[in-house]
Amino acid sequence: MPLWLPRGPQRSCRIWVAQLNTWTPFLYPFLAPGIAARPLTLALSRPRRRTLSTAAERLESRSDINSVQHRLVEEGVELVSVQQPQHPHAEYSTSPFADMQELTLIAGSGGNGCVSFLREKFVPYGPANGGNGGRGGSIYVQAVYGETSLHKLSREGTVRAKPGRNGKGSSINGKRGDDVIIRVPVGTVHHLEASTMLGITHPRKVYLDLSKPTIEPILLVPGAPGGLGNPNFVTDGRRRPKFATKGGKGIRMKIQLELKILADIGLVGLPNSGKSSFLRAVSRRKARVGEWAFTTLAPNIGTIVMEERYLPPSRPGETQKRLPRFTIADIPGLIADAHLNRGLGHGFLRHIERAKALCFVIDLSREDPVGDLKGLWREIKAYEQGFSGDEGESTVRGMMSEMSGETHSEDRFIEPMAETYEPERRRTPTTTHIRFNEEDGTFEYFEPETGFVFSQKPREETPRMTSKRWFVIANKADLPNTEGKFVALQRYLDIEEKRGGGENIGLIPISALKQEGVEAAIDWMKSMLGFL
Ligand SMILES: Nc1nc2c(ncn2[C@@H]2O[C@H](COP(=O)(O)OP(=O)(O)OP(=O)(O)O)[C@@H](O)[C@H]2O)c(=O)[nH]1
Ligand SMILES: [Mg+2]
């Protein structure tokens, strides 16, 4: 017999009897009559009271504590004072993290050409033999697996490639300056799926999405050509030129890098609402939990690996497929006026900008959970308004909006280097161009001298945050006097649905601390992502 989720029997998402054990007495049995009646009676009829602290002191890991909690609850023991989980430090996964970085790139200057003449015994006025200066080092970017953050780049605000060496006599050309490759994160790295946006701001904004590993590093700034030695200036009338040219000056360019984590579900909530606790409850991600606001300072990604029954049937001879999985991103808490840079601001929303669905984690122990939910939406809308950006905005977001707009024909050919090396000699110097191809909507980044280098499709329009599917996790349902607030949330969501604020908005009561109701939450996410 199917059982309805607690938003009332009229809702369309079902959970089956097999999942009954996920429902425990405190999760508002009156809203789903018949659920878990037995354990409730048991709990009442056996009023043994025990605190968990004594047991917990002897237990080392959180999973031990959880299993003891479960066992005691199943035995009908009423846990009157459940200690806040005190995770040993080894259980936290914290690593340095930076998701925005502005860099100044300075390509290597070219070495100077040399003025020199062959001098040997009996050859006092030999021909010119000055070597050419070496080309300056170029700067490349490469998206690679294994990097998880831009923090390594943030130590250096400026990246310089080495200059080329000067030419020498006896036709010895100067050595090339060493190139620099900036390595940025891409793809799946342990629990992190990420993509780095690259914004080039000079002289026009260009936006590249490095969401795939780049096997060949992408040239950002070419090194300046070296100067020419005096043999280059020999003409019929000028057999012994006493001049050479200087190497070009290294081009300077500013870029902005923005790291966006890619997850299927994004958690949004006030600080302390239990986002990290929820992530810990549903995945093996050891997110830090604390009873103070802003415990989470950098995004955490948890992966939920599905059971084998979700595997599509494999064909004969086919090797075993990877189990289907989805990811959840836990970000720092949002507070009212975060868009005015209160708290940690709302910049972290960029990590859930591309999530397929948003999960609002609401703390039922707070005074006005409905007001909290409205406040979170206000912040998301404010973030989106920033997303459209104003014209002069020099952030990557500004660039994104610019590139998604129409490109006028005179803008099609973009020369990113205003200070491109001036051709003061016979050989044409190298210039790098970024070109937008209107026909197939790609950017081409190439160097005429060496040919085509890189082609990049502009990012597809991300669905607006406000048009994403969303649902609500009502957390801390284990605390007393939360039923009324749950019902108020339910009523508010009903009204919101009628007003067209969302379709079949789920509301799931859970206790992330006691890991109750989380199975229902997982099922809801699976159904949203099309697994059920
Ligand atoms: N009673 C109760 N407490 C909970 C529950 N879930 C989380 N908590 C407690 O609430 C506090 C905050 O939990 P966190 O998971 O760190 O909250 P957060 O939303 O990640 O907080 P920030 O990282 O600061 O944004 C901790 O003391 C948790 O133990 C719950 O279901 N019931
Ligand atoms: Mg947290």
Question: Tokens 């602290």 — which residue?
Answer: 53
Closest ligand to Cα 361:
1
CA 67 to chain CA centroid, nearest Å: 34
Q: Which atom of ligand 1 is nearest to the CA of 279?
A: 15
Q: Which atom of ligand 1 is nearest to the CA of 271?
A: 25
Rounded distance from Cα 51 to ligand 2 centre (Å): 26
The pLDDT value given to residue 531? 77
Tell me the one-letter amino acid at 473. I
Rounded distance from Cα 289 to ligand 1 centre (Å): 6
ipTM: 0.98
Q: Take atom 2 of ligand 1 and give the residue whose Cα is closest.
A: 476
Rounded distance from Cα 332 to ligand 2 centre (Å): 6
The pLDDT value given to residue 502? 77
The pLDDT value given to residue 303? 82
Q: Give a three-class secondary structure readout of 4-68.
A: ECCCCCCCCCEECHHHHHHCCCCCCHHHCCCCCHHHHHHHHHCCCEECCHHHHHHCCCHHHHHHH
The pLDDT value given to residue 424? 33
The pLDDT value given to residue 74? 67
Answer yes or no: is the C-beta of 512 below 6 A from any ligand 1 atom. Answer: yes
Given a contact cutoff of 8 angstroms between Cβ atoms, the answer to whether 90 and 143 are in contact is no
- In 344-430, the DSSP E strands lie at 357-363, 413-414
The pLDDT value given to residue 165? 92
Of 161, 163, 153, 155, nearest to 198 (Cα)? Answer: 153
Could you tell me which CATH number the domain at 100-260 has?
2.70.210.12
User: What one-character-per-residue DSSP string does 248-259 give?
Assistant: PPPPEEEEEEEE
Cβ neighbors of 422 (< 8 A, separation 6 or more) are 248, 429
Query: What ranges do the domains of the chain cover?
Result: 22-83, 100-260, 263-310+323-388+467-532
Given a contact cutoff of 8 angstroms between Cβ atoms, the answer to whether 139 and 98 are in contact is no
Answer yes or no: is the C-beta of 271 below 6 A from any ligand 1 atom. Answer: yes
Rounded distance from Cα 290 to ligand 2 centre (Å): 7
Residue pLDDT tens, the chain, 532 long: 333 344 433 343 433 333 333 444 446 655 554 333 333 222 333 333 333 333 333 334 445 545 655 665 666 655 444 444 555 544 555 556 667 777 888 889 999 989 888 888 887 888 889 899 999 998 888 877 766 677 677 666 888 899 999 988 888 998 999 998 888 877 544 445 566 666 665 444 556 677 777 777 877 788 888 888 888 888 888 888 888 888 888 888 777 777 777 788 999 999 889 999 999 888 877 777 877 777 778 788 888 887 777 677 777 777 667 778 888 888 888 887 777 777 677 777 877 877 889 999 999 999 999 999 999 988 888 887 764 333 333 333 333 333 333 322 222 223 333 333 333 333 333 444 555 555 555 555 554 454 444 455 544 555 577 788 889 999 999 888 888 888 999 899 888 888 887 788 888 999 988 888 888 888 888 888 887 7
Rounded distance from Cα 156 to ligand 1 centre (Å): 36
The pLDDT value given to residue 415? 32
Matching CATH topology for 100-260 and 263-310+323-388+467-532? no
Closest ligand to Cα 273:
1
Q: Which atom of ligand 1 is nearest to the CA of 293?
A: 24
Could you tell me which CATH number the domain at 263-310+323-388+467-532 has?
3.40.50.300
Answer yes or no: is the C-beta of 475 below 6 A from any ligand 1 atom. Answer: yes
